[in-house]
Amino acid sequence: MKVVIQRTTKAYVKVNGKIVGKINKGLVVLAGFNKNDNENIIDQMINKIINLRIFNDEKGVMNLSLNNIKGSILSISQFTLYADTTKGRRPSYINSLEASIAIKLYDYFNQKLKDNNIEVATGIFGEYMQVDFVNDGPITIIIDSEEWRKNNDKK
């Protein structure tokens, strides 16, 4: 699983010109899935995302988590995070998980966020979406579970 996390003060997603998801302070999370992903990986990713200390405390230091600030998440499915651009000029998406399986993991991801008392707004899986938000900071962080696997293999 790969996520791009962007700290925001407000965000929304439109499908066919209609806002289908909207949040205020929190995170925009673009989530992509590959063939190695499973519920265990998602559980680890959820724990990392909601406890990542990337919000400012009273001294202006990034020392608070999404949990600490009671922030929300705008969750957007994003198969293009696994684009392979090593050959040619047209990206290959062969590393992205098949949509019929990815949607189940995406739904699990969003439900687990809610189970952790996070307010979650979403786009619509597989639809053309327009996402608009204010990147606060700007703060953008990429987390890739494949990197966790590589680091564990080195041990």
Q: In three state form, how does the secondary structure of 11-31 look? A: EEEEECCEEEEEECCEEEEEE
Catalytic residue set: 78-80
Q: How far is Cα 38 from Cα 97, in angstroms, rounded to an integer?
A: 11
Q: How far is Cα 39 from Cα 35, in angstroms, rounded to an integer?
A: 12
